[in-house]
Amino acid sequence: MNQAITGARYFALINGVLLLAAVASAQEVPSILQVEVENYVSYVGDTTDPSKVARSSGTVTPNAPLNFFSNVILADVTKINGAPAKGTLVIRSQTMLLTPTPNAGGAIADVTRPAMAEVSWEFLKPDGSSIGNMYVMGFSGGTPPPGSPQGSTGGAAAIVGGTGSFLGARGTMNNVEILSPRTTSQAEDPSARRTNGGGRARFVFQVLPVFRPEVVVGADGPEIFHADERPVTADSPAKAGEELILNAKGLGPTRPDVSLGAPFPSDPPAVPSAPIEVLVNDKSSAAVDAVGRPGASGTYRVRFRVPDDAPAGNVTVQLSAAWMKGSAATIQVQ
């Protein structure tokens, strides 16, 4: 392939197989998600008698083997990028104690990694409605690999996929901090996890989504309109505090669910599952509402308000869906 690939992604048909190759361009920057969890509890696989697993209502001191044991970690999502959220974290971990300088029972290796893990996340809005899932695999602990986001303290894990608003996501996940984690035996009843209590933790994601939320740009510029449908232009600029409407792509799945490529219905309106935010000059201006355009496929209408303190002149308008940002469009404000 002699020509450089300038797009972020491309499709290829090889031997009848459709391949989606994700190629990060020089301009593509991953979206950062800081996820906080509570009631973080590790259930050690130390119980060989099935009749005793998950039976004890109280805490149980674990009796873990020296090495090669498995455990399951459960926690509740509480915040994403500082905003309230709900959801569940499940980690299935296999301890190996990899290290170049092992004590007896440790596994000698060229790297320092205590365990390998399969990680499943399900993210919900505060009202309990679904946003989507992300799935991660890799090592836990040790030193963050090159390119890890600022604040990472451990872990070397890759996002291997997602659903909902994170459909096809790729990227990385690292630990930031794990505070007062509680470890117990798998003999403890997990229905008492919140009652018995657990630790808190923070994780950081670098997410490269398959699609990003974008303001539609037509032949005459960004498709951003006044409330009466007149385009916002240099001759008809927006005003500070004014409510505007924009056409958007890439806001993801909706409620009710609409198949990818199918036109959006008018009744009931198709509301994006992801939290939608409009950034004006990088300042948050929460979307008044966002819906799929009735009869259109993959195009949404977003109403938002220009901040009262927006400066006169050129200002940027940028969309965020599920905390993933798109490109900035420019409009004029008088």
Per cent of the chain over pLDDT 70 is: 92
Q: What residue spans of the chain are helical by DSSP H?
A: 193-196
Report the pLDDT value the prediction gives residue 278, as an integer from 0 to 100. Answer: 97
For residues 223-233, give the mean pLDDT.
97
Burial 297-320 (b: 16+ CB within 10 A, else e): ebbbbbbbbbbeebeeeebebbbb
How far lies 85's CA from each of 56, 102, 123, 151, 215, in Å?
A: 30, 41, 7, 21, 26
The single-letter code of the amino acid at 297 is S
Q: What's this model's pTM, rounded to 2 decimal places?
A: 0.88
What mean pLDDT do residues 77-95 have?
A: 98
pLDDT, mean of residues 118-135: 98
Percent of the chain with pLDDT over 90: 89
Cα 13 to the center of its chain, rounded Å: 29
Measured CA to CA, the distance from residue 79 to residue 263 in angstroms comes to 33
Q: H/E element holding 115?
A: strand 113-124
Question: Where do the domains of the chain lie, and which CATH numbers do they carry?
Answer: 29-208 (2.40.480), 214-333 (2.60.40.10)
The answer to whether residue 198 scores a pLDDT higher than 50 is yes
Ramachandran region, residue 58 (left: φ > 0; alpha: ψ -120 to 50; beta: rest): beta
Backbone angles phi, psi at 165, to 5 degrees: -70, -10
